[in-house]
Structure 1
Amino acid sequence: MSTDAVAGFDPALSEELILRLPQARALGLKIASFGGGRAEIHMPFAEHLVGDPKTGVIHGGAVSTLMDTCGGASVMAHPLVEGHTATISLRIDYLRAATPGQGITARAECHHVTRSVAFVRAVALDEDETRPVAMATGTFTVPQLRESDAEGAA
């Protein structure tokens, strides 16, 4: 886990997020950091995730699940939001193939929250971390605002 995560980071709670999602378990997703409206989740390379055996590149659907899960985690990590979320929309732009044999890490930020919708930006990087594999924008449900902050949201 990242040591620069926001105070109040609860590893057990964030791991529960992953363990509740069968597809996240199947992909081997691990939360690296979680808090302050940000999340980072790593998907290790595994042969069963390869989309094309000729290239050895992780399938785009696995990358999509990683980015969606990380986006939802960033909403749950936002200080104004309480409870679980669901994806409303997710747009992913695939910029290049991931490097064969490398895991992929997604980083997402929930940058704006209203009473009912959270807005997220995310990026997926393979192990060289110099050029993104994919970028995403998404909207997610806001199940509930924290009591003291409900009046301040738009």
Structure 2
Amino acid sequence: MTADKATIARQFIEIIPHAKALGMKVSAIEDGVAEIVMPYDDCLIGDPKTGVIHGGAVSTLMDTCSGAAVMSHPDSPAGTATINLRIDYMRAATPGQAITAHAECYHITRNVAFIRAKAFDEDRENPVATAAGAFTVEGK
């Protein structure tokens, strides 16, 4: 992937207002693989008793990271949109820890890109959630 494509994908993700509001930062992006970190923040708590981050914030992180992976794929010509995204929650994220999503765009057709993703806290052996989905491929 060219540096220009990586820069464009990174800048696009980082200017999305919702991603900015959640504190997301692209930590890696190249050739159909992306990683985005979302820091722990009290305003993202879904259960005040436990301090666990709301599942909707995890979903947004995984969706955003997956879109970044599609945009950075060498065969993806432009922007993308989510067609479907199945997320399986494996366990609650550990309160106080950042969540990192890692997504891979593993196949692209003329109109559809397919992804796999995982979200982790500091325990990289046991994912918080896994995802599989399909995204549009524009302009191919």
TM-score, normalised to structure 1's length?
Answer: 0.86
Query: What SS does structure 2 have at the residue aligned with 1:82?
Result: coil
Query: What SS does structure 2 have at the residue aligned with 1:13?
Result: helix
1:96 matched to 2:106? The reply is no
CA 1:11 to 1:72, structure 2 compared with 1: closer, same or farther past 3 Å?
closer
The gaps in structure 1 that reach 5 residues or longer are 1-5, 146-154
CA distance in 2 between counterparts of 1:105 and 1:112 reads 22
Render the CA deviation track for 1:23-60: whole Å, top value 9, x for unaligned.
Answer: 10110000011111100000000110111111011100
Render the CA deviation track for 1:85-122: whole Å, top value 9, x for unaligned.
Answer: 00000000000000011010000000000000000000
1:69 matched to 2:51? The reply is no
The alpha-carbon deviation at position 16 of structure 1 amounts to 1.9
- Which of 49, 54, 69 lines up with 1:59 in the alignment? 54
CA distance in 2 between counterparts of 1:75 and 1:131 reads 24
Q: Report matched runs for 1:1-154 at 5 Å.
A: 8=3, 12-145=7-140
8 Å CA contact 1:36–1:79 kept in 2: the answer is yes
The gaps in structure 2 that reach 5 residues or longer are none
Find the structure with the greater CA-based Rg.
1
What is the total number of aligned residue pairs between the two structures?
140
Quick one: percent identity of the two aligned structures? 59
CA distance in 2 between counterparts of 1:26 and 1:77 reads 23
Superposition CA RMSD, Å: 1.5
